[in-house]
Structure 1
């Protein structure tokens, strides 16, 4: 869900074209359109979502945005990866989207330099991404000389290298191979790999016969945070601050529902994913959800006066991507601090 494939890119081309055509008909262009939805509101709000069991799917399922913005048409477009969301942002096909921290770090770096900002953290990736190895391997240090798979430039690739580093292993000491999740599952079944750092649902298949050495939840507790982030185009955020405020409040509402009534939250997610409520509850429980107050803390987005450590996390991720030759240059920390939508977050939850 966080590393694009050729098939996904072909699907994206059609989706972007369709979204642009729809936008043109509805609001006369890809820049957010005329304020036909009422004072300070656009005629349409175009959202790029992914099938990740977090609060965004709850908001979509419950129709809260449609209720809160009755004069604005809400267009939900599904994407399969953060890379696809970046492409749609560059084309002007969506106003708000979901992308993993690795794609966002890439988007804020050269050559993309996407004019967007991060006003919300959908989730801190937890137990839904993990390093699974063959039975008999009991520590990360034992991976020296072993063959381990991960999709390159994804959040799991980043997490794998961090886990190796923490264990005292260099990248060169492990045979790391670039594979997409379906290929990882096939290679695991054939016995071609000794381990993989991957996400659900392939993760769950590997865990049936393998051993989990570390999860992204544990890495986050050690300071290596990966997350699913919201991105909003700068132009849209500046033109329609009230809409962004309403959007943020609905996301916070979803997090609070997940805490106060997890069964209702799981049922909403189950409908969106086409799975049982029990499985939806299990997947939801693997993520770390943060409410608006938590997101304003120093460890995450922070405040306009004191941007949070998410900026440092994004820059470290960008440095990793530069090593992987996925970005041409890594900007200074101020670029990533300016890329945090702290003003929008503060306005949405002003006392």
Structure 2
């Protein structure tokens, strides 16, 4: 790999180090408007983002741009990095994106792509003897705060007539959840793969999944967010990024074996394990995303805006954000131009 094509791993600690160092801003761009650098935040989630990374499609499509891949453990960490000015494009769950677009964060970013609609790859895993959500009263429960699983945990507790004060709630990142579970410190955790799979291997059982909660109206997704400044300054580069994501979805549908091999390599899994995780997500093509059900079009924003508003209302009720923005605010945050372009014949 040449110096131009950089891959860098960063976690929450790395994001914090970036903030403390006072580094910010994007390197100067060449005179022709091509970005000198594209800083991407990714997570260990089995979707097309890992296919694009593994095959270095962006490096090929943007040869004059340094592609920097930064790994994050949660959407909350991604929001922190955006606030520090250290990311251009990243993956975050719909709940942290909703928080990011609301006050007090008010991050200036947009949603150009839906990486996946979340299903059973996120779940509330519990120890033996916990048979229903109501049994969590007084128990120790871990979840990464400001994540889709945090949102779904609150929703599950609410359905059972419990609040966060009824459990001992711990804010832990996925690797810390796995370590705490091994020590026997937890009764339950709402988390995603690969840590969720590790908990199952250690005897945990799923009590409720995100897919089940979605069927009851609490839809979540893994979204792409792009800084408004980057989107405005480099629309062609953003469109290229979307094209590569759509290419990955096509590979997942048309050459599943090759796509699974790429994802398995990125997650250090066997292809069979990768297949099991991929099957728990829903992937959408650019054509599907540029429909009224999802991102919509520039003239007619899609239903994703309403899902984000409903998420915001719930988070406001729980005191997680100051107030829920109206639907228009979320419609304005949708950036469907790339999907529209990629969907054209």
**TM-score range normalised by the length of the shorter chain:** 0.7 to 0.9
Give 2:105's aligned residue: 112
2: CA distance between counterparts of 1:206 and 1:315?
A: 32
1: CA distance between counterparts of 2:232 and 2:253?
A: 32
Give 2:4's aligned residue: none
Give 1:11's aligned residue: 14
Give 1:227's aligned residue: 221
8 A contact 1:153–1:324 mirrored in 2:
no
8 A contact 1:19–1:93 mirrored in 2:
no
Give 1:33's aligned residue: 28
8 A contact 2:99–2:146 mirrored in 1:
no
Deviates more, 1:107-116 or 1:204-213: 204-213
SS of residue in 1 equivalent to 2:281: coil
Give 1:177's aligned residue: 169
Deviation readout 1:64-104 (Å, 9 max, x if unpaired): 11222222222222223222222322333221111111221
Give 1:305's aligned residue: 299
2: CA distance between counterparts of 1:279 and 1:18?
A: 39
RMSD: 2.9
Q: Provide closer, same or farther for how the CA distance between residues 75 and 260 of structure 1 changes in structure 2, counting only shifts above 3 A.
A: same
Number of aligned pairs? 334
Give 2:36's aligned residue: 43
Q: Provide closer, same or farther for how the CA distance between residues 263 and 301 of structure 1 changes in structure 2, counting only shifts above 3 A.
A: same
SS of residue in 1 equivalent to 2:301: coil
Deviation readout 1:19-58 (Å, 9 max, x if unpaired): 958xxxxxxxx2563344x4x4222222222222211111
Deviation readout 1:189-232 (Å, 9 max, x if unpaired): 56665433222233223334243232112222332111211111
2: CA distance between counterparts of 1:198 and 1:183?
A: 11
Normalised to the residue count of structure 2, the TM-score between the two structures is 0.84
8 A contact 1:32–1:236 mirrored in 2:
no
Q: Provide closer, same or farther for how the CA distance between residues 201 and 45 of structure 1 changes in structure 2, counting only shifts above 3 A.
A: closer
8 A contact 2:118–2:282 mirrored in 1:
yes
Normalised to the residue count of structure 1, the TM-score between the two structures is 0.83
Give 1:25's aligned residue: none
